[in-house]
Amino acid sequence: MKDLISKYKIILGSASPRRKELLSLLGIPFSIELPTNSDESYPDGTQYNMIPETIALGKSAGFGRELGEDEILITADTMVFCPDHEPLGKPKNSEDAIRMLHKLSGKTHEVITGVAIRTSKGVTSFSTTTEVTFKELSDKEIEYYISNYAPYDKAGAYAIQEWIGAAGITSINGSYFNVVGLPVQRVYEVLRNL
């Protein structure tokens, strides 16, 4: 890790406070610089499990400047998918948040984070999937969560590290940190192997 820290300047291309906090866990100094022309679209027919990685690559491509030889850019996108693979983005309002949480209630869904790690020589990308299971959520529990927390900037209208995660999630299969917004162990492995 000392070689990584001494040789490279790490740039996180995300405004997410959760990604900032998660990357900080690795103990690697980094700066935040946002893409200037981020493309979050994906072609029709893209396999659902490739959508977050495609978006992460679009964010990386839209960074807006060339990277120096000593710079590494990390971009990511996290999405929640219902059991039928319907993507759940960020809710528009409380009614949308209620709708999303009802869709997840009593079911197992997938949280997929796509990550792109770019240097001046090229880009490496990958996806990490975690299965999350909710108990049957009552209307009162859903309304309590939405009234007392801020689900509007979160895919699927929830954050695992908040009340609803503690009270409503019965199991996870895969990386907890992936559900929060960045599979830091996998990011660490890719950075270590650069």
Contact assessment for residue 65 and residue 3, using Cβ atoms and an 8 Å cutoff: no
Whether 70 is catalytic is: no
Structure tokens at 42: 């994906």
Report how far residue 11's alpha carbon sits from residue 31's, in angstroms, rounded to the nearest whole number.
Answer: 5
CA distances for 144 relative to 10, 13, 61, 101, 137, angstroms: 39, 33, 40, 12, 11
Among candidate residues 70, 77, 84, 139, the one labeled active-site is: 77
Contact assessment for residue 179 and residue 111, using Cβ atoms and an 8 Å cutoff: yes
Residues catalogued as catalytic = 77
